[in-house]
């Protein structure tokens, strides 16, 4: 069985996704309306910094990548992302698929624990920006990410 996964963090960079879960069946650019990207997730590999998560926010949006994956690939990704151990949880979302001009129901990850005082890690955020540019997310979105980089540590 196949499942859609919406990536907005480091997994936007397809090389990271492939290393974690294998090559996806398909990939498309996506826009998730009504959410905001933030870097408040903890704990992570580096203490004192936050990692990507999203939260509902009216007129905001998040750009990312829709990956069509097998159940087995998603299970591998869940293990890597810490779904069973309380780092992230699944959230069902409706994502606009840019190439297919349609809404797709997908799973994404939401952080279980957040701290709004955290700032993103520069290297981590640079991987997200690189992935966003590589897959062709909008200049406006890349610009938002680059603005966040100014506050990264």
What domains appear along the chain, each with residue ranges and CATH number? Answer: 2-149 (3.10.490.10)
pLDDT above 90 for 43: no
Which residue, chain included where needed, has tokens 């690189």?
A: 130
Q: Which residue has the higher pLDDT, 47 or 60?
A: 60
pTM of the model: 0.96
Whether the Cβ atoms of residue 145 and residue 125 lie closer than 8 Å to each other = yes
pLDDT above 90 for 46: no
pLDDT-derived band of residue 44, with 50, 70 and 90 as boundaries? confident
pLDDT-derived band of residue 85, with 50, 70 and 90 as boundaries? confident
Name, in order, each residue with C-beta under 8 angstroms of 69's C-beta and a sequence gap of 6 or more: 2, 3, 4, 5, 21, 24, 25, 77
């Amino acid at each position: 069985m196949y499942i859609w996964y919406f990536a907005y963090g480091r997994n936007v960079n397809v090389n990271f996704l492939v290393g974690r879960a294998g090559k996806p069946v398909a990939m498309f650019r996506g826009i998730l309306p009504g959410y905001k990207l933030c870097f408040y997730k903890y704990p992570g590999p580096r203490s004192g910094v936050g990692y990507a998560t999203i939260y509902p926010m009216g007129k905001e949006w998040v750009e990312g990548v829709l990956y069509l994956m097998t159940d087995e690939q998603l299970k591998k990704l869940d293990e890597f992302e810490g779904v069973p151990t309380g780092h992230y949880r699944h959230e069902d979302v409706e994502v606009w698929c840019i190439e297919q001009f349609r809404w797709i129901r997908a799973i994404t990850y939401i952080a279980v624990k957040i701290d709004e005082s955290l700032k993103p890690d520069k290297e981590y955020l640079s991987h997200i920006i690189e992935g966003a540019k590589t897959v062709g997310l909008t200049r406006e979105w890349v610009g938002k990410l680059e603005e966040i980089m100014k506050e990264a540590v």
